[in-house]
Amino acid sequence: QVQLAESGGGLVQAGGSLRLSCAASGRTASGSTFSSYGMGWFRQAPGKDREFVAAIDRSGGITLYTDSVKGRFTISRDNAKNTVYLQMNSLKPEDTAVYYCGKDQHATGSSSVGRYDSWGQGTQVTVSS
């Protein structure tokens, strides 16, 4: 069973930056380790569905972003540390949400929430205007 734990959220003014981290521990039921699967970041604002933010493949060579964060957010991973990151720059009030990291069932990462079978507890990001 893979466990995920996010950290790094907080309160920041518009235009500011935050870096989220997601540490993974444990193995999948088949014994796969962190470097075997894609990872993603999603967010959920009050009263809204969970939405895709960014994803990364198992090697870190392929990334995917939702249009609203392109050029502002960067997803990366360090397989030696079993950690995926989300660097968020030029933050806007509409970025306010609880941010979740997820483990993809496959190696590529995906924008589809249904592809993810493990989630962290979430970390709150609040951007003030």
In this prediction, residues 109-125 reach a mean pLDDT of: 97
Mean pLDDT score of the chain, rounded to an integer?
A: 96
Q: In this structure, how many other beta carbons lie within 10 angstroms of the beta carbon of residue 89? A: 14
Can you read off the two tokens belonging to residue 120?
């962290």
Cβ(97)–Cβ(12) under 8 Å? no
Residue 99 and residue 86 in contact, taking contact as beta carbons nearer than 8 Å: yes
| pLDDT tens digits for range 28-77 | 888 889 999 999 999 999 999 999 999 999 999 999 999 999 999 999 99
